[in-house]
Chain A
């Protein structure tokens, strides 16, 4: 093989190393990689690095999400869409250009984000002017249905027998962070990590094991406390309950937090 050919082979094989490392490479390419790395120290090193990286990245997060509450919210959104459909006979799901216009209008940002997928399946056609007019009328109906959906969600939440860690309801006074700790965390470890992060427990644990935490030093940084918690192996979940700052608006006071 010429020098140029060798360099080309090295580049080609190097590009395949991640899929050799994750063991999804095809048989022919596997042989090609193995033939090359036998005589290439650089690629052998690269393979070792990528295997370690894969191992580090393949470990699952400790957080387990419960899908029931999320599914309830999806159901409410689907109900909102379904409730709007009978009022718009031309806009039944996926049956006409007008209906696609309605979907695109009511869920414009979703449609935009998935335009490439829809286009790749070759099913979305150009929306006609009539379709757009129908869409604009339908959009008003959708807005009303979303208001109805909000009311539905409020009612559903009032009687809900589940609790989410991100729920904004009933925040204990001073709560800045909600966290879930590993069941194996000892009291001493809990005290140690809270002391280090300058936090104290103000409520909890809930049935889901969620603690509400407040700052021991109000001038401290919530972000730093959050970072310290998240860096601890015994913390399974930690999230600030403060709203995100408005981009470009500087926080006031000594704290860097909003």
Chain B
């Protein structure tokens, strides 16, 4: 719809203006960008880590990098892609640190579900377990596509990877989910049937 296109273009232009101001040393512009992206990033990051201090740390580290690197941004790509790319790398590092500690331990200690996973809450819990078992890069790719709604090319830019690598990560994520989810649900029923 044209109206949405106008809004999107306007938001992109506003982001570019703000980032130019940040590059010139405007803390106010940084804070406006921060508040504009906080909800989106927090919701995305909270899918990986339930601890708010981790979510906050990743977001704040991201914006410290935005503050320090704004001068280096050439405005050849979208500001949103650039910021989400910084958040992606910060999250990747943080999640690698956490991996095999809290997340893995809580997964192992969770009681196995034996009830019907078609209930929303159980289905979400069951899906969360499957996603938590994916390698970090694969999970991030899946979340960028399905939770954030990014295109293949945008994900390639965010993750600084060739399109072929993004496709391969997505392929492996799909295959692993297909393998994990029935097992986690305590049944050999197919993935499709589980999600129906």
Q: Which residues of A contact B (CB under 8 A)?
A: 14-16, 18-19, 21-22, 24-25, 45-46, 48-50, 52-54, 56-61, 63-65, 67, 70-71, 73-75, 77-78, 81, 93-94, 103, 107, 109-110, 112-114, 116-118, 120-121, 123-124, 164-166, 221, 223-224, 226-228, 230-233, 237-239, 244, 247, 256
Contacts and interface: CB of A to CB of B under 8 A. Distances in A.
Contacts of A121: 69, 72-74
9 contacts: A15-B170, A18-B170, A19-B152, A67-B42, A109-B93, A114-B69, A121-B72, A166-B52, A224-B110
A231 to B, nearest CB: 5
A57 B146 contact: yes
Interface of B: 25, 27, 30-31, 34-35, 38-39, 42-43, 46-47, 50-53, 55-56, 59-61, 63-65, 67-69, 71-74, 82, 85-86, 89-90, 92-93, 101-102, 105-106, 109-111, 120-125, 127, 131, 142-143, 145-147, 149-152, 154, 160, 167, 170-171, 174, 177-178, 191-192, 195-196
A15 B152 CA distance: 10
A61 B31 CA distance: 24
B64 A74 contact: yes
B148 to A, nearest CB: 9
Contact of B90 (A58, A114, A244): A114
A94 B68 contact: yes
A65 B35 CA distance: 11
Given A57-B146, A78-B67, A231-B122, A239 B52 contact: yes
Contacts of A231: 121-122, 125
B47 A61 contact: yes
Given A16-B152, A239-B50, 11 more contacts: A18-B145, A19-B145, A24-B152, A61-B47, A67-B34, A93-B25, A107-B64, A110-B61, A123-B72, A166-B51, A233-B120
Contacts of B111: 224, 227-228
A90 to B, nearest CB: 16
B195 A74 contact: no
Nearest to B164: A15
| Central interface residue in A18, A94, A224, A233, by most chain B CB within 10 Å | A18
B134 to A, nearest CB: 12
A36 to B, nearest CB: 15
A75 B35 CA distance: 13
B64 A65 contact: no
Nearest to B92: A113
Contacts of B90: 110, 113-114
Contacts of B55: 65
B38 A230 contact: no
B34 A71 contact: yes
Contact of B60 (A18, A74, A166): A74
A118 to B, nearest CB: 6
Contacts of A52: 192, 195-196
Contacts of B177: 53
A65 to B, nearest CB: 4
A227 B106 contact: yes
B128 to A, nearest CB: 9
A223 B59 contact: no
A42 to B, nearest CB: 12
Contacts of B69: 94, 114, 117-118, 121, 123
Contacts of B109: 221, 223-224, 227, 256
A244 B147 contact: no
A116 B69 CA distance: 12
A58 B145 CA distance: 9
Nearest to B125: A231
